[in-house]
A and B are shown apart, each in its own frame.
Chain A
Amino acid sequence: MVARYFKGTNQLTAFYFKQHRFKILVWLIGLIGITLSVASAYPSIYNDEESRQAASLTMDNPVMVAMLGTGYEMEEYVNSVGAMFANEMLLFTAIAVAIMSILLVGRATRGDEEEGRNEMVRALSVGRLSSVSAVMIVIVSTNILLAILTGIGLASLGIEGVELEGSLLYGSILGATGLLFASFTAVFAQVTETSKGTTMFSFMLLIIAYLIRAIGDVSSEELSWISPLGWTVKTGVFVENDWWPVVLSCIVAIMFGVIAFYLHSIRDLGAGFIAARKGKTHASPFLQTSLGLALRLQRTNIIAWAIGLFILSSSFGAILGDLETYFAENEFMQAFIVVDSDYTMTEQFITLLMAIMSLISLVPAVMVILKVKGEETRNLTENYYTRAISRTRVLGSHFLLAVVVSFIMQSLVALGLWSVGEVVMDEAISFDTTIASAYVYLPAIWVVISLVIGLVGVVPKLTGLIWLYVVFCFVVVYLGDLFDFPEWMNNLSVFDYIPQIPIDSVNFTAMVVLILISFVLSIIGFSGYNRRDISG
Chain B
Amino acid sequence: MSILKVTNLKKRFGKFTALDGVNMEVKKGEVFGFIGPNGAGKSTTIRILLGMLKATQGEARVFGKDVWADAVDIHKRIAYVPGDVNLWPNLTGGEVIDLLMKMNGSTNLTKREELIKKFNFDPTKKSRTYSKGNRQKVALIAAFASDADLYILDEPTSGLDPLMETIFQECVLDAKRAGKSVLLSSHILSEVEKLCDRVGIIRQGKIIETGTLDELRHLTRTHLTIKTKKHITSLNELKGIHNLEEKDSERTLQVDAEEMDTVIRYIAEFGILKLESSPPTLEDLFMRHYQGEEYSNSKIEGSL
Instruction: Enumerate chain A interface residues (CB-CB to B < 8 A).
Output: 114, 193-194, 276, 278-283, 287-288, 293, 296-297, 378-380, 382-390, 531-534, 536
Contact = CB atoms under 8 A, between A and B. Distances in A.
Given A282-B94, A288-B99, 6 more contacts: A280-B124, A288-B98, A385-B71, A389-B103, A390-B71, A531-B54
Interface in B67-98: 71-73, 75-76, 78, 80, 82, 84, 86-92, 94-98
Nearest to A390: B72
A386 B102 contact: no
Contacts of B54: 531-533
B128 interface: yes
A276 B125 contact: yes
B91 A282 contact: no
A288 B73 CA distance: 19
A282 B126 contact: no
Nearest to B73: A388
A385 B53 contact: no
B129 A276 contact: yes
A277 B87 CA distance: 18
A296 B102 CA distance: 16
Residue among B52, B71, B89 with most chain A CB within 10 A: B52
Nearest to B99: A283
22 contacts: A194-B89, A279-B95, A279-B125, A281-B123, A282-B98, A283-B91, A283-B94, A283-B95, A283-B99, A287-B98, A288-B98, A296-B91, A383-B86, A385-B52, A385-B71, A386-B75, A386-B80, A387-B75, A387-B80, A532-B54, A533-B52, A534-B52
B238 to A, nearest CB: 53
A-B interface, 4 closest residue pairs, ranked by CB to CB distance from nearest = A279-B92, A283-B98, A387-B103, A386-B80
Interface string B274-297: 000000000000000000000000
A384 B88 CA distance: 12
Contacts of B96: 283
Contacts of B84: 379
Contacts, number: 103
Nearest to B13: A533
A379 B82 CA distance: 10
Nearest to B53: A533
A380 B86 contact: yes
Interface string B122-157: 011110110000000000000000000000100000
A280 B126 CA distance: 9
A378 B82 CA distance: 14
B105 to A, nearest CB: 6
A451 B50 CA distance: 28
B207 to A, nearest CB: 22
Interface of B: 50-54, 71-73, 75-76, 78, 80, 82, 84, 86-92, 94-100, 102-105, 123-126, 128-129, 152
Contacts of B51: 385
B66 to A, nearest CB: 14
B105 A388 contact: yes
B122 to A, nearest CB: 9
A336 to B, nearest CB: 55
A357 to B, nearest CB: 29
Contacts of B99: 283, 287-288, 293, 383
B23 to A, nearest CB: 22
A280 B92 contact: yes
B15 to A, nearest CB: 16
Contacts of A281: 92, 94, 123-124
Contact of B52 (A378, A380, A382): A382
A296 B75 CA distance: 24
Contact of A280 (B53, B95, B152): B95
Nearest to B74: A388
B86 A378 contact: yes
B129 to A, nearest CB: 6
A316 to B, nearest CB: 33
A404 B17 CA distance: 43
A79 to B, nearest CB: 56
B14 to A, nearest CB: 12
Nearest to A296: B91
A276 B122 CA distance: 14
A388 B123 contact: no
B82 A382 contact: yes
Contacts of A385: 50-52, 71, 75
Nearest to A300: B90
B94 A388 contact: no
Contact of B76 (A288, A388, A531, A534): A388
Contacts of B97: 283
B123 A276 contact: no
B50 to A, nearest CB: 5
A140 to B, nearest CB: 30
Contacts of B104: 387-388
B141 to A, nearest CB: 12
B95 A282 contact: yes
B134 to A, nearest CB: 14
A386 B46 CA distance: 10
A457 to B, nearest CB: 14
A278 B152 CA distance: 32
A282 B101 CA distance: 12
Contacts of B72: 388-390
Nearest to B84: A379
Contact of A288 (B52, B102, B152): B102
Contacts of A383: 86-87, 99-100, 103
Contact of A276 (B82, B87, B126): B126
Contacts of A282: 94-95, 98
B86 A379 contact: yes
B52 A388 contact: no
